[in-house]
Chains A and B, each alone.
Chain A
Amino acid sequence: MCITLFNYQENLLPAMRYSFLSVFTQALRGHTGWKPAWRKAEPAPSYDVVIIGGGGGGLATAYYLAKNHPEVGRIAVVEKGWLGGGNIGRNTTIIRSNYLLPGNEPFYEFSMKLWEGLERELNYNAMVSQRGIYNLYHSDAQRDAFARRGNAMLLHGADAQLLDKAQLRREVPYLNYDNARFPVQGALVQRRAGTARHDAVAWGYARGADLRGVDLIENCEVTRIFQENGKVTGVETTRGTIRAGKVAMAVAGSSSLLAAKAGLRLPIESHALQAFVTEGLKPLIDTVITFGAGHFYISQSDKGGLVFGGDIDGYNSYAQRGNLPVVEDVCEGGMALMPMLGRTRLLRSWGGIMDMSMDGSPIIDKTPVDNLFINAGWCYGGFKATPASGFCFAHLVARGEPHPVAAAYRLGRFAEGRLIDEKGVGAQPNLH
């Protein structure tokens, strides 16, 4: 009986379907029947589309290209290290669609809806947990700014709520309400926001792309980008030359270095961002909270560690690590907001490279080189955009036209003054 059921499952898809039943039956076989989550592909001499970057952006793009635009032909992802080893491999896992500006909110809400269907889409438990996000406010002006944002969210069809102090205190009692330097007055809440398991997102997209015939090529660094008559023709890599009809760049913090190989200078600066996790604790914080009077935000992972972070270090860096002043600054913010954190121990810190743009918003666009496309400028907010970023970039690469929800993310917007500057700090990347 079990065997029959198992075979039935097998026939649904060419490869192993994940489910409770598959875990159960594999357990009975000592788990010897699992297949690799994705093939270790060897690079072919040419592809129709080469995606540079095997992180969240690249893998999601590969998946949606293969699924939504199979007419593009053969697709490869080339990744210089191990798949999902960049910012997708270490981030604070927050997903939300609580942006203010018309250029941003439809995109992030589109992404939110993709998150909500992701497990079914990928047959992979990305552990999407819509536990809500609370953006705390500490003054009347901040309250009104959040009301503006919440109303914008509602106008765009997302969900938003504004809580006053009494309501907030009932829902989140452990904040410092009585002895604070900047007393909490309330919060903007998005209930549908939350977290997702970042590694699962990378692996889920990788597996899905691989199942649809995309070659995922690891340990393959692009060393040159070839052009002829203003059109891209292929790449040179550490695993050989690969000809390509189209090349799509999705390498986040390394974007400037990669684009330079095509003779392009991007309006992006690379900065160091640190993030932190504590030792595992029994459930303590069941939502996502951002401090409104300092750089600090926090949530609790399903493994029990508190995952938190703050501001970028402030200087340009590719080192993937930060320095002590920010560590202290973030912990000061944490203690100011939740004095119960004092005896909780920081377990590990890590750092990544943030591609900071001139208005804090991303770029998903063609480049001056024909058939060379760029997806970059995510600053420190790329994780939540992963599904929409891949979906829209795939659309652009396949059709040559931007997807409507990402239409504002053009490279030329800076020259035109069509900025998408949520914070209003101007053309200084380290302020966004």
Chain B
Amino acid sequence: MNLEEYKGVYVFAQQVDNVINNIAFELVGKGKDLAEALGTEVTAVLVGSNVKGLADQLAEYGADKVIVVDDPELKEYRTEPYAHAIASVINKYKPEIFLVGATAIGRDLGPRVSARIHTGLTADCTQLEIGDFPLAPVPGKEQKHNQLLMTRPAFGGNTIATIACPDFRPQMATVRPGVMQKRERKPGVKANVEEFNPGFTPDHKYVEIMEVVKAVSNTVDIMDAKILVSGGRGMGSPENFKMLEDLAEVLDGQVSCSRAVVDAGWKPKDLQVGQTGKTVRPNVYFAVGISGAIQHLAGMEESDIIVAINKDESAPIFDVADYGVVGDLNKIVPALTEKLRAELAKNQ
């Protein structure tokens, strides 16, 4: 493998039902930072059926170029045709970095592609930067420059590791949604589009989709919320979440929850914050009746302001809270909602 041949930062622009997922814009944003550090460009790879019209959105968020792989076989996500599309793009264009969102799609696509083209893949990264590997010179070992340094939590968020892929290309990573920043959107920017179709011939690896069942949900994605009111096991019952809904409504926020609440069947999985749920960073995160298991903290500790309400003063949530209130949530939350309602009415 001639590593010098591999140039440019590429990102997988995930779309579902021909709507580009936010992670695509986040990857374009991060890809742009990396490309600038390397003196190169960021290319988004858009895969689907009738998706060419979406390419400009990627340009508006900073993509220098968009490669479109458009084929009827790619209408719904399936591992094999998508892996074929991405592996073909990599073999033809030879990027030095390829980023994929660590979504339920990307965490299936990424490993299949990396295994096909024989390179390393670092999972669920929360930080990416360009630097030297090894980090400091080691006698007898070549220190390589301009390497992608990929940082990720492991052991349930207890440790953090920085990984490099010095001898294979592209350097591949899946990136946790909600962690990287999008660039500011520049409306009206047109994409520099290149179409590419490697040909799709169904074989035994093409699985058949018998049915698509969409979850009925009219809630806003908690990853987009500016204010989250999150409840844990300490809420005591699903009915008590009404208190949190009232508080969220007054602040124009959303309700989310901890894993214990999902496991108990009180709330659906798409509202779960944490290592096995979603990573959120709202302006304000209210943790109500949440003890703060390390897996939960991993999903919310980057929030700008954390307010915790818990009756157990030794709860680990207080270790990350900016404002911790020890007390009975059943008394505090309704009173807080009323007080905020009155304060906000005054402002109008």
Q: Do A and B interact with each other, yes or no?
A: no
Seen from chain B, the residues whose Cβ lies within 8 Å of a Cβ on chain A are none
